[in-house]
Amino acid sequence: MVEDRIIATYLIETAFPLEYAAEVMAGEQSTGTFVSVPGETPELKEKHAARVIEVKELEAVSQPSLPHAKIPKGVHTPVYTRGIVKLSFPLQNIGLSLPNLMTMVAGNLYELNEFSGLRLLDIDLPDSFARKYPGPQFGIEGTRKLAGVYDRPMIGTIVKPSIGLKTDEYGPLVRALAEAGIDFIKDDELCADPPCAPFEQRVKVVMEEINRAADKTGKKVMYAFNITGDIDELKRKHDIVYEAGGTCIMVSINSVGLNAVEYLRRYSQLPIHGHRNQWGALSRYPMLGFGFAAYQKLCRLAGVDHLHTNGLNSKFAESNDSVVQSIKDCLTPLFGGYTVMPVLSSAQWAASAIPTYEAVRSVDVIHLAGGGILAHPDGPNAGVLSMIKGWEAAVKGIPLEQYAKRHPELARAIQKFAN
Amino acid sequence: MVEDRIIATYLIETAFPLEYAAEVMAGEQSTGTFVSVPGETPELKEKHAARVIEVKELEAVSQPSLPHAKIPKGVHTPVYTRGIVKLSFPLQNIGLSLPNLMTMVAGNLYELNEFSGLRLLDIDLPDSFARKYPGPQFGIEGTRKLAGVYDRPMIGTIVKPSIGLKTDEYGPLVRALAEAGIDFIKDDELCADPPCAPFEQRVKVVMEEINRAADKTGKKVMYAFNITGDIDELKRKHDIVYEAGGTCIMVSINSVGLNAVEYLRRYSQLPIHGHRNQWGALSRYPMLGFGFAAYQKLCRLAGVDHLHTNGLNSKFAESNDSVVQSIKDCLTPLFGGYTVMPVLSSAQWAASAIPTYEAVRSVDVIHLAGGGILAHPDGPNAGVLSMIKGWEAAVKGIPLEQYAKRHPELARAIQKFAN
């Protein structure tokens, strides 16, 4: 990585020659303009222009993936070529600035009518970004230390129903989960500070139960309290959690914005659990928006310690290949460290461990299950244990059914949840 | 508007019956879960469930607009029906919270695999939101007062080249524009605080010229300084502009996030010029993301005073109908006021006024032109005047060519720019 350049990788689709389209991108996002301007001197271009460093042709299609794309003059039956483009930007155009990085590598590109498809796949940043943005404060190691869980995934669940539980209903629920030996509980993203369970009261009730269980067992369940709110609320709610002995705060990254996450990171004394709701709006159409490789780096710069990735065979509209790649992206060190813990969820149960481990070869995940724990025929205790045993089988390479012979909680889970 | 409900309107596409799909949305974003949970009591549902209040069937298509959409069991040749769905959410699920509003009305919806298309078109909010979020502080009236421009659009331009000018090159440029009688100048979104023209120095040089011109002519050009940066920078740079006598600050809304804009709004003593770069990522695919009607309300809640909309016949990939609707959306009062000034740009010149005024019947816009002003054959002075005369012709309903007979700067603009 050249120390003073930023490399951005795009998937594009265009009716124009790929090389030309790539130059349009580079111009638009640096020194170029629609009309020629006298000030765009050779010296200025040399210092500030973005450079096209790679253009790789992919397949061609006959229908444009996005509307309102222009076709070259004189062309009557356009062909839309897809390709991978890498641009190199001078760091000095933005300095070490996360928001200005976004404007430079994404910005107005999506609206250029030379393109019938444009997606930012990845960004490569000089190490100096890590000096400006300290990134995940706890990461994988710090999270494990706070939760006291090593050498296996952290097993967790989400409080349900998503919204509407009253404050006094949290006590029994959290007690039951803590007694079941769960490692991690999180608020739903839909529950932040509703009048039926005001934030401060909820923290009090939840932490009473967690601290009581910790006194008994020595294990303090990590609870990710959803502090999503306006800027001032973030600090205030962080303090409420911290003072009550809580060990994790959660924010909806796209609802508060990366600036707010980064601001919280500098203040926080707790790991930040990053919920990526609205990610689908940014990513689900393959020829637009952001790839997760780019997105997770932006989130790490902002300082999240945990980041949602979906789980394998989930009920969300994402392929397993994409989920696996997202988990691997999170587990790939950035700036030589800067670790973030992937959070797997949706339709997960004990058997989900096997394909997950086969694909990612790591136990550094937070694995969330709802029904897979709570609906276990022998109760949540057996539910949690079945998840742990599922991962043991996965790591040891023992087929689930075989491992289940010696682990009844696994056998009962298979009986209940396997189709 | 019922005082305690929030209404969200969506465009959807699904292989399932529309009514069923709408119920899935309502469930997912309120009390429902993938697995049934004992706590989801009738009382809780009555208080907290989102309700489907309208389902309107549109056309059907044979190919799904988004990948990984599920089809109903037993169906072999699915038909994907499009429809408009209105959901009503209880305000009490989130309270008066902009970020939690986004999680509720958008959230995980985009990832649900029952949908092959999902776009949030609009949001109707109870007036209580305006009590929590004061919204645009200056709006149209306050901006006009600061700029001293009434009864016609504010005519402006963007400093070009986008990036790379040195501090000492700003002086002559701004002087020429101020002498040309321009109302408004803005930094490019790509230029925030580069080493070649550090923010503080740039403000100094620019405001010296603007203040000098104001002393001479009594007219202070409004310059939107791009303060996009981390949270602490926003305040610091606001102060630099304010103390130098500047009258506008600009932020890249999607780069800093709505929380940061809202935070800035509470602090700011200046109008906030909202640049929407990356908007294309959220909107360009018609079956995903956000409609501008929804987006501009979120931006107004956060408190922007100006908001970019593109201009008619621009070089961006947006239809004129969409641009016109966006301008009208901005000009529609919210909570009985809460005004925001639309900013029109890209390939604009004197003649752009006619179709714009015909479509929107308002002069409450900031109209930005680059070449249309700077490349005028008789210089920027004539360029600015040609824009003003174009709007006069539009408002008076006089054909441009006819009006040009008495206004040479208009005639020369037509000669140069008309194709």
What residues contact residue B332 under an 8 Å CB cut-off, 6+ apart?
none
Half-sphere exposure of A178 (CA within 13 A, CB side): 25
- Report the pLDDT value the prediction gives residue A419, as an integer from 0 to 100: 77
* C-alpha torsion A121→A306→B34→B70, nearest 10: 10
Contacts of B187 in chain A (CB under 8 A): none
Q: Which of residues 28-57 of A touch B (CB under 8 A)?
A: 29-35, 37, 39-40, 44-45, 47-48
Contacts of B157 in chain A (CB under 8 A): none
Which chain A residue's Cα is nearest to B259? A256
Distance from CA of B16 to the nearest CA of A (A): 15
B198 contact A CB<8A: no
**Helix (H), strand (E), coil (C) string for A383-394:** HHHHHHHHHHHH
User: Nearest Cβ partner of A95 from B29, B35, B194?
Assistant: B194
B195 contact A CB<8A: yes
List the beta bridge partners of residue A89: A6
- Report the pLDDT value the prediction gives residue A37, as an integer from 0 to 100: 64
- Report the pLDDT value the prediction gives residue A40, as an integer from 0 to 100: 78
- Report the pLDDT value the prediction gives residue B194, as an integer from 0 to 100: 96
H/E run at residue A53: strand A51-61
Distance from CA of B67 to the nearest CA of A (A): 7
Candidates A178, A277, A261; CA nearest to A218 is A178
User: Nearest Cβ partner of A99 from B104, B252, B263?
Assistant: B252
Sheet with A5-14: strands ordered across: A51-61, A80-90, A5-14, A115-124, A288-290
B284 contact A CB<8A: yes
Mean pLDDT of the A166-176 span: 95
Contacts of A196 in chain B (CB under 8 A): 47-48, 92
Residue B323 is encoded by which pair of tokens?
């641009």
Burial of B392 (0-12, 13-18, 19+ CB in 10 A): middle
Q: Do B162 and A30 touch (CB under 8 A)?
A: yes
Residue A313 is encoded by which pair of tokens?
């065979």
pLDDT at A2 over 80: no
Contacts of B228 in chain A (CB under 8 A): 97, 99-100, 103
B99 contact A CB<8A: yes
Distance from CA of A396 to the nearest CA of B (A): 30
- At A250-309, the pLDDT tens digits run 999 999 999 999 999 999 999 999 999 999 999 999 999 999 999 999 999 999 999 999
A277 contact B CB<8A: yes
**Alpha carbon distance A379, B112 (integer Å):** 29
* Cβ proximity of B314 and B323 under 8 Å: yes
Which chain B residue's Cα is nearest to A47? B164
CA-based torsion, B383, B387, B388, B394: positive or negative: positive
**Alpha carbon distance B260, B304 (integer Å):** 11
B329 contact A CB<8A: no
Q: Which of residues 359-378 of B touch A (CB under 8 A)?
A: 370-371, 374-375
Residue A160 is encoded by which pair of tokens?
């349900």
Q: What percent of chain A has pLDDT above 90?
A: 95
**Alpha carbon distance B179, A249 (integer Å):** 54
Q: Are strands B115-124 and A115-124 parallel, antiparallel or unpaired?
A: unpaired
- Report the pLDDT value the prediction gives residue B33, as an integer from 0 to 100: 62
User: Nearest Cβ partner of A189 from B103, B115, B370?
Assistant: B103
pLDDT at A154 over 70: yes
Q: Do A230 and B98 touch (CB under 8 A)?
A: yes
DSSP 3-state assignment of B45? helix
Rounded to two decimals, what is the model's pTM? 0.97
- At A183-207, the pLDDT tens digits run 999 999 999 999 999 999 999 999 9
Which chain B residue's Cα is nearest to A417? B35
DSSP 3-state assignment of B117? strand
- At A298-357, the pLDDT tens digits run 999 999 999 999 999 998 999 999 999 999 999 999 999 999 999 999 999 999 999 999
B258 contact A CB<8A: yes
- Report the pLDDT value the prediction gives residue A349, as an integer from 0 to 100: 97
Neighbours of A61 (CB within 10 A): 15
| Alpha-carbon distance values, A109 to A29, A60, A83, A114, A153 (Å) | 7, 21, 15, 10, 40
Q: Do B228 and A100 touch (CB under 8 A)?
A: yes
Contacts of A285 in chain B (CB under 8 A): 65-66, 285, 287-288
- At A85-136, the pLDDT tens digits run 999 999 999 999 999 999 999 999 999 999 999 999 999 999 999 999 999 9
- Report the pLDDT value the prediction gives residue B37, as an integer from 0 to 100: 63
A347 contact B CB<8A: yes
Contacts of B192 in chain A (CB under 8 A): 94-95, 97, 100, 103
B288 contact A CB<8A: yes
* Cβ proximity of A80 and A65 under 8 Å: yes
Q: Which domains does chain A have, with CATH numbers?
A: 5-132 (3.30.70.150), 139-417 (3.20.20.110)
Q: Look up tokens 């005024």; give the residue.
A: B357
For A308, phi and psi rounded to 5 degrees?
-70, 140
Q: Do B318 and A112 touch (CB under 8 A)?
A: no
* C-alpha torsion A123→A120→A140→A100, nearest 10: 60
Neighbours of B133 (CB within 10 A): 21
| pLDDT (tens place) for every residue of chain B, 419 residues total | 567 999 999 999 999 999 999 999 999 999 886 455 667 788 999 999 999 999 999 999 999 999 999 999 999 999 999 999 999 999 999 999 999 999 999 999 999 999 999 999 999 999 999 999 999 999 999 999 999 999 999 999 999 899 999 999 999 999 999 999 999 999 999 999 999 999 999 999 999 999 999 999 999 999 999 999 999 999 999 999 999 999 999 999 999 999 999 999 999 999 999 999 999 999 999 999 999 999 999 999 999 999 999 999 998 999 999 999 999 999 999 999 999 999 999 999 999 999 999 999 999 999 999 999 999 999 999 999 999 999 999 999 999 999 999 999 999 999 999 97
Q: How confident is the model at residue A33 (pLDDT cuts 50, 70, 90)?
A: low
Which chain B residue's Cα is nearest to A302? B230
Burial of A379 (0-12, 13-18, 19+ CB in 10 A): middle
This model of the complex carries an ipTM of 0.97
Contacts of A34 in chain B (CB under 8 A): 315, 346-347, 370-371
A172 contact B CB<8A: no
Q: Do B317 and A374 touch (CB under 8 A)?
A: no
Sheet with B288-290: strands ordered across: B51-61, B80-90, B5-14, B115-124, B288-290
Residue A379 is encoded by which pair of tokens?
């109760």
